[in-house]
Amino acid sequence: MSNEQVIWDRLISAGLTPAGAAGLLGNLQAESGLRPDNLQNTCEAKLGFTDEGYTVAVDNGCYTDFADDRAGYGLAQWTHPTRKAALLAFARANGASIGNLDMQVSYLLHELQTLFKPLWDKLCTTDSVRDASDAVLLDFERPASVNNPDKLQETKDTRAVYAQWYYARFAQEEESESMKLLECILTASDCYKAGQTIKPQGVMVHSTGANNPLLRRYVQPIAATPDREELLTQLGTNPNGNHWNQSRVYIYTDKTRTVGYRDYSKNLDQVLYEPCVHAFIGKLADGSVAAVQTLPWEHRGWHCGVGAKGTANDTHISFEICEDALTDPVYFNQAYQAAVELTAMLCREYGLDPLADGVVICHQDGYKRGVASNHGDVYNWFPKHGKTMDDFRADVVRSMNNENEEEEDMPTYKTLKDVPEHFRPTIQKLMEDGSLVGEKDPDPTRLDDNIINVSYDYCRIMTTLDRRGDLH
């Protein structure tokens, strides 16, 4: 889970309103890029430390000047000796690294509740993102620009933009969600019990290869599943007991498509594999189309077998779309749309670019790339309704952009100099290796910097990929 999601979830569960959480998150973004081990850039040279080196030296006790060195550090770039000393004591008391995200969020909440009570009360009651953002800046962060009205206004505006972005991303997203997403984790499956995890690098789309669009065929709660009764009402009950929330579920196939399912006790002369995916899309008992999450997203699924070069089980989140007789355009369009939205949600959550090579693929794409067994899905179905995987990827991008429509006033940065400091190293790197090409400003009297016109969103996505080591 991304740092921003972790922080957002903790602020909301601590009682902040969505507007209050967005105002705080926007300020933290501006302070640290949401990196808990971030040492103030201007202090790195002065102290002779990188972020990592400083964090390690504080943790192992080699560096003893943490509280008094006046170097901003952590999510909120704590600088004042009293606050840094208290942060260090809090980390030690919790046996956590000084750069630990959870610990810093706990300390931040503790500071707000004890030292900044009026601000805390405001963040727990406000419905104005702008008010929340300004209040955090003035009462909590107290930046150097406080004594310079022009600079202060600029800082306020920048932070409010960040805050609005988070509000659009987390709060409005929840309100405008049109895809219905339930959760019924298949905890009795062998795959779940294997307990392996992945770092998601893509999404693989499957379709079941069997004429049964009902989710209840595959997804059923067991006695221990949370909200079991409600799930059974929504899904309906599988009368045949052949769902996937049990041990020893096997698929047999004729190598190009699934031809059936059977249990382990029958003969084993055909190609078999044990399946489990992260989600299913299909019909609920009332006939409406929904998605159900069936594994934690970072669990290693068993969904695509092995190809010549390995297996996307190690890299891709997977879901099955329940096939019907493949001729009903209404069901296809509803299921396709849910698949687009689910994929868009996962790409946003994991900072994935749906158009990048090998990121959003179907089972057959995976076979051709050497990372999956030879199955035909989804090309046995999508083309019957005029869709290719290229269309699918383009629709995922469109869905991601639609969800960002509220952010039309997000800034575009004309030159590298305009790019906020925490994004600049990544953007510079992209310019240096030629991935991002600028053009010379046609007005020679104005600027000597190349015009790049990159958006906040672009900077953010590229920086996320850069931090994860996914760029080059």
Contact residues for Zn ion (CB under 5 A)?
206, 363, 375, 377
Q: How far is the CB of 301 from Zn ion (least distance, A)?
A: 11
Whose Cβ is closer to Zn ion: residue 243's or residue 375's? Answer: 375
Residue 89 vs residues 52, 83, 333, 400: alpha-carbon distances, Å:
20, 10, 56, 42
The tokens for 348 are 């946003």
Instruction: Name the residue nearer to Zn ion (CB basis): 304 or 454.
Output: 304
Name which of 51 and 377 has its Cβ closer to Zn ion: 377
Closer residue to Zn ion, CB minimum distance, 316 or 375? 375
Give the number of C-alpha atoms closer than 13 A to the C-alpha of residue 254, restricted to the C-beta side.
Answer: 5
d(CA 203, CA 410): 28
Least gap, CB of 373 to Zn ion (angstroms):
8
Q: How far apart are CA 472 and CA 330, in angstroms?
A: 42
Say how far apart CA 100 and CA 37 lie, in whole Å: 7
Least Å from the CB of residue 326 to Zn ion: 15
CB of 25 to Zn ion, least distance (A): 38
DSSP 299: B
Is residue 291 within 8 A of residue 182, CB to CB? The reply is: yes
Distance CA 464, CA 347 (A): 12
Q: How far is the CB of 272 from Zn ion (least distance, A)?
A: 14
CB of 313 to Zn ion, least distance (A): 11
Nearer to Zn ion, 31 or 320 (CB): 320
Closest contact distance (angstroms) between CB of 372 and Zn ion is: 8
Taking the least distance from each CB to Zn ion, the nearer of 363 and 393 is 363
Q: Which is nearer to Zn ion, 31 or 377 (CB)?
A: 377
The secondary structure of 164-215 as a DSSP string is HHHIIIIIIHHHH--S-EEE---TTSHHHHH--B----EEEEEE-SSS--BG
Handedness of CA 316, 322, 327, 333 (dihedral sign): negative
Which residue is it, tokens 């869905």? 399
User: Phi, psi (5° rounding) for residue 359?
Assistant: -85, -60
